[in-house]
Chains A and B, each alone.
Chain A
């Protein structure tokens, strides 16, 4: 079971460069998310999607764009990277609220991005 796969795992960028992080899930989950994790701040939601072709802003969306053209993939783009975007990025997916109403997320292993 691959679960949630993120690529690349590591990336170093210079300020102003662009890049795309790819997230793929093989669990047929409807919901997908991108979080960033910074020391002492927990996880903060960047963007999310509740289905193929839909995206929505989370808590910290500025400087990022996303696309969900296929149900199994969720792409996170940085058009012009800034040092403040140095972070560890996590993709997650879920079935949604299901019968219990609890939204249980499955996470990828993370992508560490450094912007110089």
Chain B
């Protein structure tokens, strides 16, 4: 079985500050990991994905995430928050590439304060 835990359902940062959104996974086999972003009243968009090619993954809009097997983590970071980053962020895990076995975390709402 696989699962994803996102620590913190709401995170607030000031504009220009570091963004850190936490994701821990549980999987009995090497996972594929994803971060998706959902802007208000829109569907989810892929930010970045980990497919075992490199542990540090760069995505769109300046976001990146590091796969740490020893910590079973895949935290999302951005050095400097922008107002446009305000959105809900979902971590997801897919084991074995199965169509069914894509599990989403419960989401983290990011607020960026001026």
Q: Which residues of A contact B106 (CB under 8 A)?
A: 40-42
Interface size on B, residues (CB 8 A): 25
Residue on B with the closest CB to A38? Answer: B106
Say yes or no for A97: interface residue by CB 8 A criterion: yes
The reply to whether B104 and A104 contact each other, CB–CB distance below 8 Å, is no
Report A63 CB to chain B, min CB distance, Å: 19
The reply to whether B102 and A109 contact each other, CB–CB distance below 8 Å, is no
Q: Which residues of B contact A94 (CB under 8 A)?
A: 99
Say yes or no for B82: interface residue by CB 8 A criterion: no
The reply to whether A102 and B100 contact each other, CB–CB distance below 8 Å, is no
The reply to whether A103 and B99 contact each other, CB–CB distance below 8 Å, is yes
Residue on B with the closest CB to A96? Answer: B99
- Could you say which of A44, A48, A96, A102 contacts B32, with CB atoms under 8 Å apart? A102
Given the complex of chains A and B, what is the CA–CA distance between A42 and B41 in angstroms? 15
Say yes or no for A105: interface residue by CB 8 A criterion: yes
Residue on B with the closest CB to A9? Answer: B41
Q: Which residues of A contact B114 (CB under 8 A)?
A: none
The reply to whether B100 and A101 contact each other, CB–CB distance below 8 Å, is no
Report A16 CB to chain B, min CB distance, Å: 28
The reply to whether A48 and B100 contact each other, CB–CB distance below 8 Å, is yes
Say yes or no for A81: interface residue by CB 8 A criterion: no
Q: Which residues of B contact A48 (CB under 8 A)?
A: 99-100
Given the complex of chains A and B, what is the CA–CA distance between A106 and B34 in angstroms? 13
- Could you say which of B43, B51, B105 contacts A107, with CB atoms under 8 Å apart? B43
The reply to whether B46 and A104 contact each other, CB–CB distance below 8 Å, is yes
Given contacts A101-B32, A101-B51, A102-B32, contact A45 B94 (CB under 8 A): no
Chain B residues near A (Cβ < 8 Å): 9, 32, 34, 36, 41-46, 49, 51, 53, 90, 94, 96-100, 102, 104-107
Chain A residues near B (Cβ < 8 Å): 4, 31, 33, 40-45, 48, 50, 56, 58, 90, 92, 94, 96-97, 100-110
